[in-house]
A = this chain, B = another copy of it.
């Protein structure tokens, strides 16, 4: 099979039509049997993460099929060469910040080595004990210490649909097509997939009534792409659009849980705060730009009449292959569905094609004022909805602001989330002639707001 010639993104510091490298050869097979044809983690993916095996300390590893390749054990076994051993040591740490800081070159070298180690040509490694752990037996953690978390707003259909709820005639604000809008989120409350999320209390103001403090009645999810920052930049030292892609270490799924009643009352004039900072759930694996290279697409075309990006946000290669085509899916399981043994119900199917700005533009904009990024910083895309009814990335949109409930197979209805509801995000990049690449799960179940005896609406003195 000839090597496919399609755009690869960020190789050797340039956005160039260089072709996919051998780690994406669809004929590659792994000696880890479950990897071959695996929906998320074939040998062409090789995402990095941090996991805790049973009765052992946490460490870095790589997802491969239903297993995790243990980088601590692999280093101990002397499986790396001169170029990659020091990189592998960083990627074996229980927090990947140092590995992320190394940047694109070392990451690609390590990926190439891992691809070789896990391919059938090294099938004899299958006999070594300790290199693999069954993923189902391990606990996955956050892959890095997140210094700062920034959430963007680049899903234009979401911006338009939410804007329409407030301003039917003028849904998009005048700055939207010039500025990649973003705000700072909370780093401390970012949690690993599977962590239960407690329904938050908060202030809201029902129409024509006094403000009240109570558990949110409009709890929502937001379907987002997460972006991990690799090498950082110094204060006062912007990252130009031409180099921005080199500073991106990988991607994850991100659920920006949102309390819409709290948000509506608090957000003027400084933006969302308590409505969103109680929890943000991310998927555990860092899916690399290399794994997603075949799925790069041109930046989605701007409709006629839209302004061109200002020069600091414009790069010809980024226009040509700075976009991505990744399917994004959000699913709901209610308590009743769980009891009835029903599978998760699909609430929406979207795609990163719906991003108005590329991730390189997000990085260039974020640092354009000299703001310094650090390795392990996380950016969210903002909710990525599609234009159609079955492509909505939040309940706020899917239920038209809570007016039009969703019907579930159990006969239940939802406008917003109830306790016991579990939201699952999934992603998959698919392209003819290539192995498909998945992200793993981003999952969270809603649990009760804190209460205290004799007081079912206020938690005062709980601590």
A interface residue numbers (CB < 8 A to B): 147-148, 150, 153, 173-175, 178-179, 181-189, 191, 197-198, 200-203, 205, 210-213, 233, 235-243, 259, 262, 265-274, 277-279, 307, 310-312, 365-366, 368-374, 377, 450, 458-463
A191 to B371, CA, bound (A): 12
| Cα–Cα, bound, A262→B312 (Å) | 15
Quick check: A461 and B240 within 8 Å, CB to CB? yes
- Complex copy number for this chain: 2
Contact B368 A236 (CB under 8 A): no
* Closest residue of B by beta carbon distance from A147: B188
CA–CA, A311 and B210, complex, Å: 13
Question: What secondary structure prevails in chain A residues at the interface with B?
Answer: loop
Instruction: Report yes or no: A198 in contact with B240, Cβ–Cβ below 8 A.
Output: no
10 intermolecular pairs with C-beta atoms under 8 Å apart: A175-B211, A212-B310, A235-B278, A235-B279, A237-B463, A238-B462, A243-B463, A262-B369, A274-B371, A312-B458
Instruction: Say how far A439's CB is from chain B's closest CB, in angstroms.
Output: 23
Neighbour of A371 across the interface among B179, B213, B272, B277, CB < 8 A:
B277
- Across the interface, A365 reaches (CB within 8 A) one of B236, B274, B462, namely B274
Question: Which single member of B236, B269, B372 contacts A188 (CB below 8 Å)?
Answer: B372
Q: How far is the CA of A183 from the CA of B202 in the complex (A)?
A: 15
Contact of A179 among B201, B265, B272, B461 (CB under 8 A): B265
Our pick among B182, B233, B240, B460 for the contact of A270 (Cβ within 8 Å) is B182
CB distance from A245 to the nearest CB of B (A): 13
Contacts of A310 in B (CB 8 A): 203, 211-213
A247 to chain B: closest residue by CB: B463
Q: Given A203-B178, A266-B179, decide whether A235 and B460 contact each other with a Cβ distance below 8 A.
A: no
A182, B460: Cβ atoms under 8 Å?
A: no
Of the listed residues A235, A241, A265, A369, the one surrounded by the most CB atoms of chain B closer than 10 A to its CB is: A369
Query: How many angstroms from the CA of A224 to the CA of B364 in the assembled complex?
Result: 30
Q: Which residues of B contact A368 (CB under 8 A)?
A: 201-202, 213, 274
Q: Which residues of B contact A153 (CB under 8 A)?
A: 270
CA distance A191 to B391 in the complex (A): 43
**Across the interface, which residues of B come within 8 angstroms of A185, CB to CB?**
184
Q: How far is the CB of A262 from chain B (nearest CB, A)?
A: 7
CB distance from A304 to the nearest CB of B (A): 18
Question: Nearest chain B CB to A242's CB is how many angstroms away?
Answer: 6
| A271 and B274 contact, Cβ closer than 8 Å, known pairs A236-B198, A460-B242 | no
Considering the chains assembled together, what is the distance between the CA atoms of A259 and B371 in angstroms? 13
CB <8 Å contact, B240 and A459: yes
Task: Evaluate contact between A269 and B173: CB separation under 8 angstroms.
Answer: yes
A459 touches B270 (CB 8 A): no
A183-B268 contact, Cβ under 8 Å, with A175-B205, A198-B370: no
A240-B463, A243-B463, A274-B371 known; 10 new pairs, CB 8 Å cut-off, are: A178-B265, A179-B203, A187-B187, A188-B373, A198-B370, A202-B369, A211-B310, A235-B279, A242-B461, A312-B458
